[in-house]
Amino acid sequence: MYKIVICDDDKNFIFYMKEMLLRCDLSERQVTFYEVTSGEECLLTVERMTSCDLIILDMQMSGMDGHVTAKHFRKLFPDSLLVFCSGVSKPTDESFKTTPFRYLRKNYGDDKMLLELTAVVEKMKQMKKRTYVMGKNHMNIVKVYPDDILYIDNYKRGSEIHVQENYKDYSFEDRITTKKKLAELYTDLKGYGFEYAHNSYIVNLNHVVKLKTEGVIKLSNGEELNVSRSRMPEFRRALAAVMSEIKTEDKVKVLSVVISCIIDVYLFHLFFQNYFSKRRFFADSVLKEKSCQIGIVILLTICNLLGNGDVNILITPALFFLYTVLEFQGKVCYRLLCFATMFCVLYGCEFLFMLLVHPDASDYKNSTLIMILMLVIKFLTYILVLITNQAIGKRKRIQDSKIFIMYMMIPAASLFVMIIVFYSGAVHYMAGYASAFLGCSFAVLFLGNVMSFYAFERYSERLYETMEQNIVIIKQKKDLEYYMQISEIDKKQKELIHNITNQIKMIYVFAKDGNTKAILELTDSIGEEMEKDSRMVYCDNPVLNSLLNEKRREAGKQGIHTDFYVEPGVLLQHVAPMDLISMLGNLLDNAIRAAAETHGEKYIKSYIYMKEVGGFCVIKITNPFENIKHTQDGDFATTKKDDGMHGIGLHSVRRIAEKYGGCLMCAAEDKTFETVLLISTDEEI
């Protein structure tokens, strides 16, 4: 990790230098920038640092100028790379006393500045690689780099170097020693986070895990060392500075990982709920569902924080697939296909967007700026999830494609504007308040996009509900017209019965007279009329009677035996004919469909009677069933081939029943499905 300090009283120039440095074969994961706007602030910053690889100083600043700042800096970091930068001043003899590597002019063009900074970065990398301690190990000469050293202590006339266990450049059969004295090594390694814990040894603060109250430090390999009382104040200050840097980076990393995992799980949930029903265990309780999601988020977070890249490639998709298996049900092949699609969208979008925005930001979770970009990535992924939902198969919510494309232009245009502004370089030359205003504008633009898609989802839900209601109304009107026609047929049937009654009386008269021929002719005539219609009379309600007769006829065509009974005195006059047809018609249609698919006895029983307690009319329907499953809202899944009408039937029945102060109850047991519909007889409801 390179640590670079940029000190200039122009914040726009600081931003410009950062961007130019990142173009010099540096990535966000490799460097930590410290931005300061005065000499005084620069010294306060570097005093808290344990190492510094490069400082870029403005020569002319109000207060402490660049020359004075450089002198104080050299006392703290004598071997660090120093670069002066100015718009008007020329180098002086005083400037070279602090041994600068380069003297840059602010009026350089981008090409010239990039060329100079490339040389600076190459020099910085060489100095980073050059720093090592030459040691002797089991008759071998080895190079030991600062990052691999745990601590160094006195040994005979030189020093002994203790390294971390995973160091593979030498054998552990013998100790690593050097002829250099401890004080000399401290001077060489102070800029790399080494500090005296005792007069006899120096410790790499980057490997200190814990400082105990009794003055004992614990290293990353589990080894413990004592800190002397005289060295404790300075050691504690240096350790606090290192820990502060590490904790800041760790907090940003953890926060970005947690946010990323939460959004990823939500996107998977959003995608899968459009194609699969939830398992009954989760459909019955929101708490169970959220607990499962939180558990997956925790596991993903741990996996991303503790695992390496190779492990995550295997574990991450496994955890996501585990989540889809736990919460959703469906065919395995179809679930695997949807999972692969969603996974490609999720991580393909992230990869491509990172290449577009910042090709070098491979480990983006170590930067606050990249964390913000990650949120933009997730929003873009959310948009692609919606597109994928629109493109794959039939959705429950049927959306107008033209309207969807119009909505898609909002985030597309917003993203285009942000990228153009970013790459145009306009941000580089804006004043501080203007940059802040631009940042707020981007945030508002992002929030506006989120709200627009939320509004779009709400609009889609309302559109679906409206379509559902319209379908139900159209069906009710058609059913009413149909059954009113049947009612007319019932009237004719009553006339037929009246006529047959008179004809039977004539048969009696002919029998007395012994007129056999007339009796035969009359009986033939009666038989012909009876064959025209064999409709039964269940009750006095013409609509209910017609409906039961029609459903009996439909069931008979499929070999289903029907047993319909209406108790005399049933009170349904206050129920609108359209509502009665919708409720009972839907329930009987479901019963006929289920009974027809069974392989055993096919039957439907319907009993309509009055409940003495409570003043309810009870409509009870019983039929056999096979392969009926629960939906996520507690209803039973339809067997209709038309998935667009899924759930409308029972939903409509339940809504109408509640309109009349009643309810709908369904139960399935021992291959028998029972539906009970209660309707209040109170006409004031």
Q: HSE (CB half, 13 Å, CA atoms) of 197?
A: 24
Question: What DSSP string runs through 564-631?
Answer: EEE-TT---TTS-HHHHHHHHHHHHHHHHHHHHT-SS--EEEEEEEEETTTTEEEEEEEEE-SS--B-
Note the pLDDT of residue 364: 39
Question: Pick the residue with more confidence: 98 or 437?
Answer: 98
In whole angstroms, what is the distance from residue 42 CA to residue 34 CA? Answer: 9
In whole angstroms, what is the distance from residue 21 CA to residue 124 CA? Answer: 12
What average pLDDT does the segment 539-562 reach? Answer: 84
Residue 253 has pLDDT above 80, yes or no: no
> What proportions of the chain, in percent to the nearest 5, are helix, strand and coil?
55, 15, 25
Cα separation values, 55 from 33, 191, 469, Å: 10, 13, 70
Note the pLDDT of residue 449: 66
Note the pLDDT of residue 540: 75
Q: Which distant-in-sequence residues (6+ apart) come within 8 Å of 160 by Cβ?
A: 152, 153, 154, 175, 176, 177, 178
Note the pLDDT of residue 510: 73
pTM: 0.36
Residue 306 has pLDDT above 80, yes or no: no
Note the pLDDT of residue 48: 81
Q: Count Cβ neighbours within 10 Å for each residue of 164-179 and write b for 16 or more, e otherwise.
A: eeebeebeeeeebbbe
3-state class of 81 per DSSP?
Answer: strand
What average pLDDT does the segment 151-162 reach? Answer: 91
Per-residue confidence band for 435, with pLDDT thresholds at 50, 70 and 90:
low
Q: Which distant-in-sequence residues (6+ apart) come within 8 Å of 434 by Cβ?
A: none
Phi, psi (degrees; rounded to nearest 5) at 128 = -65, -45
3-state class of 432 per DSSP?
Answer: helix
| Per-residue tokens: 252 | 């940003």
Q: Which of 83, 84, 38 is nearest to 61 (CA)?
A: 38
In whole angstroms, what is the distance from residue 206 CA to residue 194 CA? Answer: 8
Mean pLDDT is highest, among 35-39, 363-367, 470-474, for 35-39
Note the pLDDT of residue 431: 44
Q: HSE (CB half, 13 Å, CA atoms) of 190?
A: 17
In whole angstroms, what is the distance from residue 42 CA to residue 70 CA? Answer: 10
In whole angstroms, what is the distance from residue 164 CA to residue 149 CA? Answer: 6
Per-residue confidence band for 65, with pLDDT thresholds at 50, 70 and 90:
confident
Question: What DSSP string runs through 111-134?
Answer: HHHHHHHHHHHHHHHHHHHH--EE
Query: Is the CB of residue 5 less than 8 Å from the CB of residue 52?
Result: yes
Note the pLDDT of residue 388: 62
Segments of 78-175 assigned E as strands: 81-86, 102-105, 133-137, 140-144, 149-155, 158-163
Note the pLDDT of residue 425: 47
| Per-residue tokens: 483 | 């059954």
Q: In this structure, which amino acid lies at residue 221?
A: N
Query: Is the CB of residue 127 less than 8 Å from the CB of residue 79?
Result: yes
Residue 447 has pLDDT above 70, yes or no: no
In whole angstroms, what is the distance from residue 504 CA to residue 496 CA? Answer: 12
Per-residue confidence band for 645, with pLDDT thresholds at 50, 70 and 90:
very low
Phi, psi (degrees; rounded to nearest 5) at 50 = -90, -20
The 10 Å Cβ neighbour count of residue 8 is 26
What average pLDDT does the segment 190-208 reach? Answer: 89
Per-residue confidence band for 57, with pLDDT thresholds at 50, 70 and 90:
very high
What average pLDDT does the segment 253-275 reach? Answer: 80
| Per-residue tokens: 162 | 């203790």
User: For 103-139, how does the pLDDT look when each residue is reduced to its tens digit (9 = 90+)?
Assistant: 888 888 888 888 889 889 888 887 766 577 888 877 6
3-state class of 514 per DSSP?
Answer: coil
Note the pLDDT of residue 397: 43
What average pLDDT does the segment 23-34 reach? Answer: 82
Residue 365 has pLDDT above 60, yes or no: no
Residue 409 has pLDDT above 70, yes or no: no
Helices 11-22 & 110-130 angle (0-180, nearest 10): 70
The tokens 């006529």 sit on which residue? 499
Average pLDDT, rounded, for the chain: 76
Question: Pick the residue with more confidence: 457 or 240?
Answer: 240
Q: Work out the percent of the chain whose per-residue pLDDT is above 70.
A: 67
| Per-residue tokens: 542 | 């013409």
Query: Is the CB of residue 116 less than 8 Å from the CB of residue 81?
Result: no
Phi, psi (degrees; rounded to nearest 5) at 379 = -65, -40
| Per-residue tokens: 329 | 């049900």
Note the pLDDT of residue 320: 84
| Per-residue tokens: 167 | 């160091």
Query: Is the CB of residue 27 less than 8 Å from the CB of residue 18?
Result: no
* Lowest-pLDDT choice from 353-362, 576-585, 587-596: 353-362
In whole angstroms, what is the distance from residue 151 CA to residue 195 CA? Answer: 9
